[in-house]
Amino acid sequence: MQRRTLLRGLAAAGLLGALPLSSTLSFAAGNPRSVKQLPKLEGDLTLYLGRGEGGLYENVLDAIKDRNPGLNLQIRRGGTAALANTIVAEAKAGVRRADLFWAVDTGSVGMVTDQGLAKTLPEDIITQLKPGFQYPRFSPVTGRIRTLPYNTERVSPAQIPDSIMALADSDLAIGWAPAYASFQSFVTAMRILEGEKATRDWLRGVERNAKKYAGELGVVMGVERGEVDIGFANHYYTLRLKAGKPDANVDLAFTNNDAGCLVNASGIMALEDGDLPVNFIRYLLTEEVQSYLASEAYEIPLVNNVAMPQGLPNLDTVTPPDLDLRKLADLRPTLNMMRDIGVL
C-alpha cells in the first residue's frame, strides 16, 4: 500500500518521467516512446474528460501539465456519454469548444466519430497500438476486460460456465450493476452479437437470481463478502481489491468468445487540426503513462511492449469476440430494452 501511495504522489508531482527507462527508445513501431522524446506542449488546449478511474486520469493530466509549463490546459469534466452528446450538439450549433475528447468507453467515442467530428490521426500513433485497437480517427488509451468475479469459498471454477449466455439458466446467485455504463456497453455487445430476443431472454433469466449494486466495485465487494456467488464487472475492480486485500475470497473467470469477455477501451480523439492536440495524444501513449495506468489503475496498456497489470492473464489467453468497438455507440436500443424489461 505504501508503494501505491508513493506512485500516486509521483504522478501528482509530475514526476512520471523519472521512472526508470531507456533514453534511446526508437520511434519504430513496436517500441513505446518516452516523454523525453516528445516535443514540449505549448499553447491553449481544451479537453473534455469523461469520468476517470479514481482520480488516476487526473494524476496523468497533472503530470503532463507539470512537465509542460507552457501548456494552458482547460478541462471540462462530466459523464462520458453526456460529453459526447454535448460535442455533437455544439457541432450542430456551429460551435467548437473542445480540442480533445477523452472518453472512458468506446461507445461514446463512436457517437462522436460517427458524426465525422474527429480528425484523422497520424500513422505513427496508430501503429503504436496493439492489433485490433488501431483506428484512424481515435486512439484507444487503455483497455478493460469483462470478467466474472467469483467467490472462491462458494464456487469452484468447474461450476462456472464458459458461455455468458448459460448464466441465465444457472442457479448461481449473481451480482450486477445494470445502471453502470460498462454493463450497458456489455449488453449492447450482446445485443449486436446474439440478437435482441436472446439478449432480452438473458436479462430476464439473470434477473431471477440477481442482486443489484450501484456500481461494479460494489459487485466485486459483494462477491468477496459472499452476498452472491458471482458477478459481472470489469477486470480492474477485482485486481484493485486483491491488491489491498491479498487474501480476499475472490478470483476472476472468463467466458469464451462472447460479450462476457469483451475487451473495451478508453479512447481519445482530436477534434481540431494542428500539432498540439496530436502531440497531447502522444503523451498518453508513452511508456510512462501506459505503465502508470497499468500498475496503478490495473488497466490494460494498449501500446506494444508495455507490461500488463499484475494478476491478469496475457491477452493472448483471452478470447474476446470479434467486434468493432465503435458499434457500442448504438446504446439507445439497449437502454430501451432494459427499461422495458424493468432492470433499469
Annotated binding site for Fe cation: 236-237
Q: Report the alpha-carbon distance of residue 163 to residue 231 in Å, rounded.
A: 14
Compute the chain's Rg from CA coordinates.
20
Looking at residue 91, the DSSP 8-state letter turns out to be: H
Residue 214 in contact with residue 179, Cβ under 8 Å?
Answer: yes
Residue 245 in contact with residue 239, Cβ under 8 Å?
Answer: no
DSSP one-letter string for 17-75: GGS---S----STTSPPPGGGSPPP-EEEEEEEE--STTHHHHHHHHHHHH-TTEEEEE
Residue 73 in contact with residue 102, Cβ under 8 Å?
Answer: no
Residue 340 in contact with residue 327, Cβ under 8 Å?
Answer: no
**Residue 158 burial (CB count, 10 A):** 5
Q: Report the alpha-carbon distance of residue 170 to residue 56 in Å, rounded.
A: 37
H/E element, 10? helix 2-12
- Write the burial class of residue 227 (CB in 10 Å: 0-12 exposed, 13-18 middle, 19+ buried): middle
Residue 338 in contact with residue 203, Cβ under 8 Å?
Answer: yes
Binding-site entries: 236-237
226: left (phi over 0), alpha (psi -120 to 50) or beta: left
What are the residues facing 146 on neighbouring strands? Answer: 234
